[in-house]
Amino acid sequence: MVESIEGVIAKISSLGCTMPYGLFKNLILGLVCVSVFGGVNIGSLAWSKETVDDAIFRIKKVGVAIWEPGSEMQEECIPLHPVIQNFCKPCCPDWSHYGIVDFMFLQRDNATSGAVITEEIVAGQQVPVFTTRSMQAATAPGVRLFYGELGPDCMGWEVGYLGVYGMFGAVDRSSLTDSLVIPGDLGGNTPGWTSADEVRPTYASSLNTVEANIFTYRCCPECSSDTLLWSHLGNKPVCHCSNWLFGFRWAGLEEQADLNVLCCRVTNDVFTSYSVRTSSQMLGPQVGFRGRRQWKNWAVEGWAKAMLAGTLLSSSADPIVSSLAPTTIIRPARRLTDAGVGFLGDLNYTVTRRLNDTWWLRLGYNMIWLTGVALAPDQWDFTNTAASGTTLVGGGGVFLHGANLGLEARW
């Protein structure tokens, strides 16, 4: 006896909850349709146009109702309703637009050359006190912004900005016996730099990046039986989305390093400085992968991105003078530029908690690498020749890591 269309619908709905991949669903649907229409042809002597139209109409309803609750199993796996209709046939997620605001708290490393920049005379010997790596920056604040949309044909787009500000490190050393020394011939030829009372090196930097990506997306529903994570916490159903990204990214790293020297503790003495500023501009294509697994009230998300960039590097150094001979220029100002190749890597993992139908709370962890950049302390040159300070030192690297806390809207 031919099985009723309603029974077929219930079975297909049940299959939609246990088989998460649309390819197998479509195959099963096709086989069922063949068996149904075949049974009708055998058991019927006549097949009127009205009956055909009615059957086609009811079969079309299967495609719409396949994710609606139609069985006891589906009551425990209520689907997310589609918001975009295209050939991808997405049944999830329940949003097509998103915006993200993250407040960043990142710690950077100091991977400079490690050259000695300050020494102290102890028992007649010059002992290193500070190197370029002594200036370790504290945790710096930042912000990350994203806006994106899911479009037709399994494609979407997004734009984003990341800024990290106030990365600053400083050290200070004082001597009551005028025993601090700036090394090299530069210190020996600058009055007061071999018998300084105080030396205070500082190191400041900031990072800004802008990116624009297009991406493919594939979203699949899963039931609690298909995933073990939080399966017993009532966070059903599950929607798993994966994206492959391609786009362009720009990054700008701005730095300044100052070697401040106080010669003599007299009322009219002031600090004199060896100040260098660098700028590293990076631009290139970016590729990446992003995944998101969303339950009813929780979601986890992560991405990995990589950019191979061309770099434009520049540095500028102020003239070097001494407070003991302010009219004498020990070294004139320098302006240098260079080009090269760099790399930027960006990793993130974030857990989000639903606040209402639109807003989610975000908490995550980040790692960011930059290579092929010019670091300001690496430009300090303590020789004293006509060519001193005329070489731009590139090939530096920066690593940042830390937490993000923010909000996202999905609608």
Residue 17 has pLDDT above 60, yes or no: no
Domains of the chain as residue ranges with CATH: 5-75 (no CATH), 97-410 (2.40.128.100)
Query: What is the pLDDT at residue 47?
Result: 38
| Top-confidence residue, 175 or 59 | 175
Query: What is the pLDDT at residue 161?
Result: 99
Radius of gyration of the chain (CA): 32
Average pLDDT over residues 320-327: 88
Burial bucket for residue 196 (CB in 10 Å: 0-12, 13-18, 19+):
buried
Query: What is the pLDDT at residue 325?
Result: 86
Query: What is the pLDDT at residue 343?
Result: 98
pLDDT band at residue 207 under the 50/70/90 scheme: very high
Residue 31 has pLDDT above 50, yes or no: no
Query: What is the pLDDT at residue 264?
Result: 82
Average pLDDT over residues 365-370: 99
Give the relative orientation of helices 49-65 and 5-18 as an angle to the nearest 10 degrees. Answer: 20
Q: Considering only 45-49, 237-241, 341-345, 371-375, which range has the smallest mean pLDDT?
A: 45-49
| Top-confidence residue, 55 or 183 | 183
Query: What is the pLDDT at residue 49?
Result: 44
pLDDT band at residue 266 under the 50/70/90 scheme: confident
Query: What is the pLDDT at residue 388?
Result: 96
Average pLDDT over residues 33-47: 41
Residue environment code for 373-397, b if the CB has 16+ CB neighbours within 10 A, otherwise e? bbbbbbbbbbebeeebbeebbbebe
Closest among 398, 389, 284, 399 to 339, alpha carbons compared: 284
Instruction: Write the single-letter amino acid at 133.
Output: R
Residue 349 has pLDDT above 60, yes or no: yes
Place of tokens 């105080």: 198
pLDDT band at residue 228 under the 50/70/90 scheme: low
Task: Check: CB of residue 282 under 8 Å from CB of residue 370.
Answer: yes
Average pLDDT over residues 11-20: 41
